[in-house]
Structure 1
């Protein structure tokens, strides 16, 4: 196993952001049962490329995120590849939580660091650290969560989909800013958020026989576009 370059534990209901260099791997591990890790992705050094969930799903013929899918930008450029995971389903269509009004009342004055905040609040707090703001919010991937979609479009949240120790690894295909929130999934009826451990490691070099390259022609095109950005 390659050395850990950076490690940070995100408590449940918190947020964090990290710059991951191209060619490195970000491993997210659930540290509690029922964890949810809402994730935004941006190209680190320009404002053009950010995660586009609808295009990512449509181009790879999927309604969920799973290995070895490629997470694509607005321009069809690969930002990260989902290389491995202990789970075969990570939610994307549901987006992140916007408010926590359905849970018990909470405030900083009463609850201090246990104050209940939505993923949106956590995202905005982290984005401001990087000179970004509300205009940079976009649809996210909810790692560790599962939401099944029926034939008539009804979304059904699967409680307890993830257990402590479940994990997913993302290979950065260019320098990316990753913004994470461990607030509960917006469809979760309970406020009992599990945390996540984020670890950055060097990633093995990927050739064009890599599973993310061979998944679909659209995946390979996105990865070639990322290499052109790095060139």
Structure 2
């Protein structure tokens, strides 16, 4: 039987001091950000210009795709039916040991709400992708992760049902990588809500047919996108919607680009990125 060791008064005082320091840093980090972030994109805004399109494909619900995205290009993810989820993972194409870090993406920006104006960070403190358009106002999931074979079997019963984890592994293999190169993902169009008690909830009302997110590559990237159902999706039958992937050309980035300037944390991450690119 394990022995439970109660914290001493000194331990409690130290924990309270750490908590106070954390809250002060969080307040400083989040105080200006909501004023600096751009508003969400309307469904009728930012229409696709055919001249910008490099390639497009539709990932059937439950399946996956891989692609290479050049620096300065963008990827628009479209939830065409309003019932899809797009779990995304990214690597630096020049050095795949640098990869998406969902934990730093959340904690460095002091938020789980990855809305327009936010960025996705690597484990080297650099910017992989910038969220330049988002119709959902941040109704995405950087915390829960993807489904796996055991959970899919328990939820939907026996059948040929694909799951997110296997999709990501197969995508990594197609890119010359392996399961060891994977880490937790960010899932777009997965409206996960974190309640005040820390529990996860599902905000189905935030889903909408035609919703889209556009991600601008800040370096050359390898990507895998899985359209398997999110683990918290309450729908009892296996019927994930398709996700359309549109690869786009983008205009040169302005010095006052919102993603680069919205927060001190983003500015530092872009400085790290620019320094690496210059080297």
Fold similarity call, TM over 0.5: yes
Looking at structure 1, the residues matched to 153 and 114 of structure 2 have their Cα atoms a distance apart, in angstroms, of 28
The corresponding residue for 1:112 is none
Please tell me whether the aligned partners of residues 117 and 132 of structure 2 are also in contact (alpha carbons under 8 angstroms). yes
- When structure 1 is superposed on structure 2, of 73-82 and 190-199 the one drifting more is 190-199
Out of 139, 159, 163, the residue aligned to residue 208 of structure 2 is 163
Q: Name whichever structure is richer in strand by fraction.
A: 1
Q: What is the CA-CA distance between 1:142 and the residue it aligns to?
A: 0.8
| Structure showing greater Rg | 2
Looking at structure 2, the residues matched to 160 and 178 of structure 1 have their Cα atoms a distance apart, in angstroms, of 29
Instruction: Please say if 1:178 is aligned against 2:234.
Output: no
Partner-residue secondary structure (3-state), 2:216: strand
Instruction: Please say if 1:102 is aligned against 2:154.
Output: yes
Q: What is the CA-CA distance between 1:223 and the residue it aligns to?
A: 1.6
Looking at structure 2, the residues matched to 47 and 5 of structure 1 have their Cα atoms a distance apart, in angstroms, of 24
Looking at structure 2, the residues matched to 152 and 104 of structure 1 have their Cα atoms a distance apart, in angstroms, of 29
Looking at structure 1, the residues matched to 129 and 225 of structure 2 have their Cα atoms a distance apart, in angstroms, of 14
Instruction: Please say if 1:202 is aligned against 2:234.
Output: no
Looking at structure 2, the residues matched to 67 and 92 of structure 1 have their Cα atoms a distance apart, in angstroms, of 14
Looking at structure 1, the residues matched to 134 and 88 of structure 2 have their Cα atoms a distance apart, in angstroms, of 15
The corresponding residue for 1:19 is 68
The corresponding residue for 2:24 is none
Out of 116, 126, 129, the residue aligned to residue 67 of structure 1 is 116
Please tell me whether the aligned partners of residues 34 and 160 of structure 1 are also in contact (alpha carbons under 8 angstroms). no
What's the Cα RMSD here?
A: 1.4
- Structure 1 runs of 4+ aligned residues shifted over 4 Å read none
Q: What is the CA-CA distance between 1:3 and the residue it aligns to?
A: 2.3
Deviations 1:206-226 (A, max 9, x none): 123100011111111212222
Q: How many matched pairs?
A: 224
Looking at structure 1, the residues matched to 157 and 196 of structure 2 have their Cα atoms a distance apart, in angstroms, of 36
Q: What is the CA-CA distance between 1:91 and the residue it aligns to?
A: 1.2
The corresponding residue for 1:110 is none
Please give the residue correspondences for 1:120-199 in structure 2 after superposition, counting only pairs within 5 Å.
120-159=165-204, 161-190=206-235, 191-199=238-246
Please tell me whether the aligned partners of residues 78 and 212 of structure 2 are also in contact (alpha carbons under 8 angstroms). yes
- When normalised by structure 1's length, the TM-score is 0.92
Q: Structure 2 stretches of 5 or more lacking a match?
A: 1-48
Q: What is the CA-CA distance between 1:64 and the residue it aligns to?
A: 2.1
Looking at structure 1, the residues matched to 205 and 134 of structure 2 have their Cα atoms a distance apart, in angstroms, of 17
Higher relative contact order (CA 8 A, sep 6+): 1
Deviations 1:156-184 (A, max 9, x none): 01235322210000000000111100001
Q: Name whichever structure is richer in helix by fraction.
A: 2
Instruction: Please say if 1:29 is aligned against 2:78.
Output: yes
Please tell me whether the aligned partners of residues 97 and 181 of structure 2 are also in contact (alpha carbons under 8 angstroms). no
Out of 236, 258, 265, the residue aligned to residue 218 of structure 1 is 265
Q: What is the CA-CA distance between 1:61 and the residue it aligns to?
A: 1.4
